[in-house]
Amino acid sequence: MTIGLAHLLTLAAMLFGIGMYGALSRKNAVHVMMSLELMANAVNINLVALSRFLTPDALTGQFFSVFSMVVSAAEIGLGLALVLAIYRRRRTVELDAIDELRG
């Protein structure tokens, strides 16, 4: 069996779904961020797979995924800084405990 575009897109969709489920259901801010990273990697697989199978001559998808990796690394760094700052004040990073503000 050769691995085709459909397999890779399915893998990406499954990873994206798992990440989305984690991001919406986890109570710990760090776990939520790990789930977000999973989603980001699913998107990268999607980009590279689409580029490899549909436009093999241009490396657009690969470039796109490199940019998206850099951006999500910067975002996660910032997010962890926010979590640390909250931990110093509150001694917890559980999102349920962070409920001083209510919509």
Binding residues for other proteins (CB under 8 A): 16, 19-20, 23, 29, 32-33, 36, 39-40, 42-43, 46-47, 50-51, 54-55, 58, 60-61, 63-64, 67-68, 71-72, 74-75, 78-79, 82-83, 85-86, 89-90, 98, 100-103
Map tokens 């798992």 to a residue: 18
Partners of 94 in the β-ladder: 28
Q: Between residues 2 and 65, which has the closer beta carbon with respect to other proteins?
A: 65
Q: CB of residue 37 vs other proteins: minimum separation in angstroms?
A: 9
CB 13 within 8 A of CB 66: no
Q: CB of residue 11 vs other proteins: minimum separation in angstroms?
A: 13
Map tokens 């979590």 to a residue: 83
C-alpha closest to that of 20 among 29, 30, 32, 7? 32
